[in-house]
Amino acid sequence: MQTLEKLTLKIKKLENFVSMPEYKTSGASAMDLVAAIKEDIVIPSGEIRIIPTGIAIELPHNTEAQVRSRSGLAIKKGIAVVNGIGTIDEDYRGEICVGLINHSKVDFTVQRGDRIAQMAIMEVLKPEITVSEDLSETERNAGGFGSTGVK
């Protein structure tokens, strides 16, 4: 059985009242990020708001943090991370903030302590880049945007 090296994620609380990110189940692949706000933030229908989490992190070398939507918020309330997946680079030390967009037809209120997104720590591969005049042929080649069909 393959064993993964134990990684350590350093987290700095920027306010005393901040909730630490946590994995809600033993099988969870991402930890929940919590709104660290002093007053409610309303996200009107169709608009975007930046929600602070009150934490900064120090990632292990060759990793990134991916900030993702929580499925329950997205499906039930229409609230999602605005850029799909937010990337936090290993050398960033500022506060983790989450850009949320309200896709629903009603305003949505974020309150202190609400779980607003999830964060997964992922390995980063950095290949050597070479310029080439040719790329290998594939069955698909340059076919994009629906070229493989729906079914």
pLDDT, mean over the chain: 93
Residue 148 has pLDDT above 80, yes or no: no
What tokens were used for 22? 């946590």
What is the distance between the alpha carbons of residues 70 and 115, in angstroms, rounded to a whole number?
A: 8
What mean pLDDT comes out for the span 8-30? 95
Strand partners, 63: 123
Superfamily of domain 10-123: Deoxyuridine triphosphatase (dUTPase) (2.70.40.10)
Compute how many other C-beta atoms are within 10 angstroms of the C-beta atom of residue 90.
Answer: 16
Confidence label for 1 from pLDDT (cuts 50, 70 and 90): very low
What mean pLDDT comes out for the span 85-98? 97
What tens digit of pLDDT does each residue of 32-75 get? 999 999 999 999 999 999 999 999 999 999 999 999 999 999 99
**pLDDT value at residue 52:** 98
Confidence label for 5 from pLDDT (cuts 50, 70 and 90): low
**pLDDT value at residue 61:** 93
Question: pTM for the whole thing?
Answer: 0.86
Alpha helical stretches, state H, 1-151:
71-72
Between the CA of residue 32 and those of 41, 69, 105, 106, 121, what are the distances in Å?
19, 10, 25, 24, 12
Residue type, 57: I
